[in-house]
Structure 1
Amino acid sequence: MVIWNQLKQDRMAMLSICLLVFVAFAGVFAPVLAPHDPTETHILQKYAGASLTFPLGTDHLGRCVMSRLLYGIRTTMLVALLTMCLTMLIGIVLGLIAGFFKGKVDNALMRLCDVMLSFPAEVMILAVVGILGPGLFNIILANVLAKWAWYTRMIRSSVLQYANEPSVQFAKVSGGSSFYLLRKHLLPRISGEVAMLATLDAGWVILNISALSFLGLGVSAPTPEWGMMLNEAKNVMVTHPTHMLAPGLAILCVVMALNFLGDSLQQAMSPYRHDINKGGGRFGFRRRQKSIRT
């Protein structure tokens, strides 16, 4: 509730939330909002300009760009959501275990994380997808393999910090089981930080998904996806440059909104947010500081 009150005073955070909700709404109701089937071709009307029939024109096969853009939300956002959920699940479980039990378990998990983090994330993703082949499942698997170790380390550090708090120590000496301590005391304390990390990282995942599809290693045609639309538009970027605007701006706006929202969450959760923003902040933080003080 406190974090939400802070976010409500941040105009950029509220604008980012509204944009993300609008995009999610458009993706859920794509069958209603889309003027055409995203895979339906009108070869005689290829590269048609914007009109009432085709609001954003058509591509090289005469498919409606607006329809493909709306249905592409489902593919891009679904893959990003599944990737983040699986990555956070693995990171939370292993991070809680490593930070709470310590000892040999902690050492074994951290050495495994060291091995995974020694590989550049982008190289690992390209290697996994290149070996297994394109497809939604392989994209999700590659991104999870590239990020789970980072989440495990971050969550472990938070658990080590909160495990020494008096309330947690009191529950421990009172006879609380390990599962009880993890579920009732440590997990609620790290939930806010996990949400912040996931929001900041979601934009990175969307960029990876789009980049893989742009390179031909992601979603297979004719499935509508923003990176795939950019891949198809690059062949006519000189003769029809506007075809890259719709998917490119969609990726830009969503990733930018996620990054701004993650920054705002970080500011709202920081115990020193007022000192950090003293003397002028970014995107309304100075106004928020002034309103808090008054």
Structure 2
Amino acid sequence: MTFWGRLMADKVAVLSMSIILLVAAAGIFAPILAPHDPTKMNMVHKYAGMSAMHPLGTDNLGRCILSRLLYGIRTTILYALITTLITIAIGTILGIIAGYFRGKVDEIIMRFCDIMLSFPSEVMILAIVGVLGPGLLNVVIANIIAKWAWYTRMIRSVVIQYTNKNYIRFAKVSGCSTNHIMRKHLLPGVSGEVAVFATLDTGWVILNISALSFLGLGVQAPTPEWGMMLNEAKNIMITYPSQMLVPGLAILIVVASFNFLGDSIQSALNPKLYQKKGAKRNVFTRSKKSISA
């Protein structure tokens, strides 16, 4: 069974991908799906309950929560994906260079990585945002600076394993250029591991963006963003709990979907791990049937 066959056979993976694609589509078509302008204030409808006009109610300024939730997808998930892609690109390039060339090049890159990894990523992100100032762009920059070293080290370890493969040695002996070997052999070889890292890390970036916006260091009002929505609702969480429940559940569901999808991709890339996972599932099914019988 191929990678895609194993992935599509995993119900958790299919469900996770479906949720992610539906949320992404909702964000893309937010101008069509949103019933109101997400930044338009109407104090007459302040804290209005669920209705046909406002399906999820309104916030402290009379703004439609559903509209802000839909437009918040663009801010939260789009910038999380951009951050992850840039970080992966930097980490993959440096990781392949360090793992392939080794020697002084590897030593210099790894020493820079050691310096960056000596600081806790959350503390570094807060420090960078504190220096650069609040703002979504600064949050993206801070996340990239804090994570590129981790990606570089992980990709390097994978590349070192691949450089000892026979087809890499044959390519070197055949006179293939270094650029050709990196693009045609090493990059496709590490793409599976990169996909796993990226999927798992996207959820972490979403949490970071939302957390910094919640603290007032990320997205600034009136831009709709899930963490900002939580920040605006924290003072009324007892009297109007639905104000925090909606963006909180959105963050939970999307982050969990990315994490479950990452685990499923990892299992699909490793046939042994996939078979082990399938065996456990079959044992659970048989035991469940025997109990019901």
Give the shorter-chain TM-score range.
Answer: over 0.9
In structure 2, the residue matched to 1:59 is 59
Cα drift, residue 5 of structure 1 = 0.6
* Secondary structure, aligned partner of 1:12: helix
TM-score with structure 2 setting the length: 0.94
In structure 2, the residue matched to 1:138 is 138
**Counterpart mapping for 1:1-294 below 5 A:** 2-274=2-274, 276-277=276-277, 280-281=280-281
Inter-partner Cα distance in structure 1 for 2:74 and 2:99:
36
The runs of 4+ residues in structure 1 deviating greater than 6 Å are 284-287
* Secondary structure, aligned partner of 2:280: coil
- Listed one character per residue, the Cα deviations across residues 144-190 of structure 1 (whole Å, up to 9, x for unaligned) are 01110000001001110011111111011100010000001100111
Inter-partner Cα distance in structure 1 for 2:108 and 2:271:
33
Cα drift, residue 242 of structure 1 = 1.1
Distance 1:279 1:18, change over 3 A: closer
Inter-partner Cα distance in structure 2 for 1:134 and 1:96:
34
Contact 1:279–1:286, Cα closer than 8 Å, also in 2: no
Q: Which letter maps to 1:160?
A: I
Contact 1:278–1:286, Cα closer than 8 Å, also in 2: no
- Listed one character per residue, the Cα deviations across residues 182-221 of structure 1 (whole Å, up to 9, x for unaligned) are 0011001111110111001110000000000000000000
Inter-partner Cα distance in structure 2 for 1:236 and 1:138:
29
* Secondary structure, aligned partner of 1:80: helix
Contact 2:87–2:148, Cα closer than 8 Å, also in 1: yes
Inter-partner Cα distance in structure 1 for 2:100 and 2:125:
30
Structure 2 gaps of 5+ residues are: 287-293
Cα drift, residue 135 of structure 1 = 1.1
* Aligned alpha-carbon RMSD (Å): 1.7
Inter-partner Cα distance in structure 1 for 2:65 and 2:249:
13
Q: Which letter maps to 1:258?
A: F
Cα drift, residue 52 of structure 1 = 0.5
Contact 2:48–2:59, Cα closer than 8 Å, also in 1: yes
TM-score with structure 1 setting the length: 0.94
Contact 1:46–1:58, Cα closer than 8 Å, also in 2: yes
Inter-partner Cα distance in structure 1 for 2:193 and 2:285:
23
Contact 1:277–1:286, Cα closer than 8 Å, also in 2: no
Q: Which letter maps to 1:171?
A: A
Give aligned pairs, total. Answer: 286
Cα drift, residue 285 of structure 1 = 9.6
Cα drift, residue 55 of structure 1 = 0.6
